[in-house]
Structure 1
């Protein structure tokens, strides 16, 4: 089989919620369609999800960053600073692991989705991110400079967005220059829109690091008891198998595979979720109306939510402010729309042909 395929590409998404892993799914499928052999590398729930999606592919576990969020959003930046020594140690371990992985698995190219230590000087390496500008309040200049310094160690930077006015990421990924080639590869989503009969009045879609995922889950389960309509609640907890429970008008799942979740979103009138960038890309692809609650203190999600609300696309509020009555405001917003951009994967993957 090895002789029939082209080069082996290590695809390594960050384990920070499920977003980085899920947006790599269309790229893995594109690599397979173009006769490359993807090797998946990650840790935790990100690795577990991709192992379920691609049981036939080889996988390898990377050192975990073990990043957690603060319970209080006001201390988000402080918590990140406290995590810094642990993060630096993990990146060093990651770099060491990559040297062995590249040799052991005969890797020909690397696609790192925000994993800072996954690169090699000996093969073509790509860093994928929608954050060329890293928002961190009054330290944005510093966090951006540090992030860009790391990105420049790679051969190219791929941005999952478009350059046009219909872009989703705004100032996060649209900068003048970087020092290495920036390629805007279009919005990435594992989903396809279908004309489905509406089955749910509301779909709650959770993900993201703890403890904020659980805090929002508990808040919403309490608040949405008063919701009038049929509700599907996906907790975003990846376990051995997908399990459902029904309580009155609420159907809960611990998690859903791509196929099941695609159908669920298509069958839902409104989606309530975090304003994580991958979620935004998914909902844009499926052209859904939504309501966003950004993770407290996470500047990127707060920026995206406020921007989309200002553009008249999606209403949003803070976690502390949310009340079930706010969902009525969704009707006053136009919802997210898909772009016509088509990614030329054959040309994009040319980098992995050069050795």
Structure 2
């Protein structure tokens, strides 16, 4: 029995900021713990991050979607539409590459986090997303239908959230059914809450695609010039080694690995960041108070920020309106928490046991 080779599972997160890659970390660890052999496939900073986290695992570079954000919120949808021929081309390239990878790397199952072209008819395939409903303003019905049509090509859809009142994604993660089994696997975070003495009054967590990441960085660094407390800024730029620099009361890192980030978040009083879903899951796990600035024009982040603000968990505002004094409102909000939920990975991974 023991001589059977481990089943090899291709884990392929989308390279769109770091969120998709970081939320795959607990799943990769769970696969290893359940005697599977993960093979990581992605591109850009998502691939770089996972190579740093799992230096012993095999990694494969996938074709890049190369999607850039617009600088102005009102052009976000237009930019995505302009990019769609490029996107379709990338997805087709991805399908081709996946076909080859499955053969040459002896892949037994696939877990795709929002990579539309990474699936195969010959092995069990899972699509992971927290967006069964894709918000796009007046075209929400269309973007949702298109997304669900893609998800149907997989065998199962895993939603990293709870169903019902404990949901972090709200209506994004709800669906009337899409023709394949949907499993709610609970929020995913690579981080753990621990008791630390507070070292920083404020931690600024930057992430997400360009040019918006840089635009927010420049805005916040300017606002921080008048900040009286101690601040830690993590820029989310993965290049070379993790570097640190200090000026007055502000400590800057280009990026942090999981352990360093976990420690820093636990040592910080307030977190200032985008309202990306992975960040929300992380901060809920760490039971943090936060302030959110959604990426301009990104409906999903705007919806999450508005919902959590209305529910009294986290204040938020538009990027152009932000002033450092607004952080004073955080004390009037509850902050994020999670209902304790433990995923039965053994049962969840049964799909990969054989088809």
TM band (smaller chain):
over 0.9
Q: Do residues 131 (structure 1) and 115 (structure 2) align?
A: no
- 1:35-50 matches, within 5 Å, as 35-50=35-50
1:155-203 deviation line (CA, Å, top 9, x unaligned): 0000000013011000001122111000000000000000111000000
Are the equivalent residues in 2 in contact too, given 1:292–1:316 (CA < 8 A)? yes
1:255-310 deviation line (CA, Å, top 9, x unaligned): 00000000000000000000000000000000000000000000000000000000
Q: Cα distance, 1:6 vs. partner?
A: 2.5
Q: Normalising by the residue count of structure 2, what TM-score does the alignment of the two structures yield?
A: 0.99
Q: Which residue of 1 aligns with 2:16?
A: 16
Q: Which residue of 1 aligns with 2:175?
A: 175
- Gapped regions of structure 2 (runs ≥ 5): none
Cα distance in structure 1, aligned partners of 2:45 and 2:340: 32
Report the number of matched residues. Answer: 354
Cα distance in structure 1, aligned partners of 2:156 and 2:304: 25
Q: Cα distance, 1:240 vs. partner?
A: 1.2
- 1:331-342 matches, within 5 Å, as 331-342=331-342
Cα distance in structure 2, aligned partners of 1:130 and 1:308: 16
- 1:1-355 matches, within 5 Å, as 3=3, 6-355=6-355
- Gapped regions of structure 1 (runs ≥ 5): none
Cα distance in structure 1, aligned partners of 2:24 and 2:192: 15
Cα distance in structure 2, aligned partners of 1:67 and 1:3: 44
Cα distance in structure 2, aligned partners of 1:255 and 1:330: 25
Q: Which portions of structure 1, spanning 4 or more consecutive aligned residues, are displaced by more than 6 angstroms?
A: none
Describe the SS at the equivalent of 1:55. Answer: coil
Describe the shift of the 1:322–1:5 C-alpha distance in structure 2 as closer, same or farther (beyond 3 A).
Answer: farther
1:69-94 deviation line (CA, Å, top 9, x unaligned): 00001100000001101101000100
Cα distance in structure 1, aligned partners of 2:67 and 2:208: 11
Cα distance in structure 2, aligned partners of 1:315 and 1:91: 37
1:91-150 deviation line (CA, Å, top 9, x unaligned): 010000001100111000000000000000000000000000000000000000000000
1:235-260 deviation line (CA, Å, top 9, x unaligned): 00001110000011110000000000
Describe the SS at the equivalent of 1:226. Answer: coil
Q: Cα distance, 1:227 vs. partner?
A: 1.1
Are the equivalent residues in 2 in contact too, given 1:185–1:343 (CA < 8 A)? yes
Are the equivalent residues in 2 in contact too, given 1:69–1:79 (CA < 8 A)? yes
Are the equivalent residues in 2 in contact too, given 1:202–1:229 (CA < 8 A)? yes
Q: Cα distance, 1:4 vs. partner?
A: 6.1
Describe the SS at the equivalent of 1:315. Answer: coil
1:34-92 deviation line (CA, Å, top 9, x unaligned): 00000000000000000000000000000000001000011000000011011010001
Cα distance in structure 1, aligned partners of 2:233 and 2:212: 16
Describe the SS at the equivalent of 1:218. Answer: helix
CA-atom RMSD in angstroms? 0.9
Q: Normalising by the residue count of structure 1, what TM-score does the alignment of the two structures yield?
A: 0.99
Cα distance in structure 2, aligned partners of 1:311 and 1:161: 17
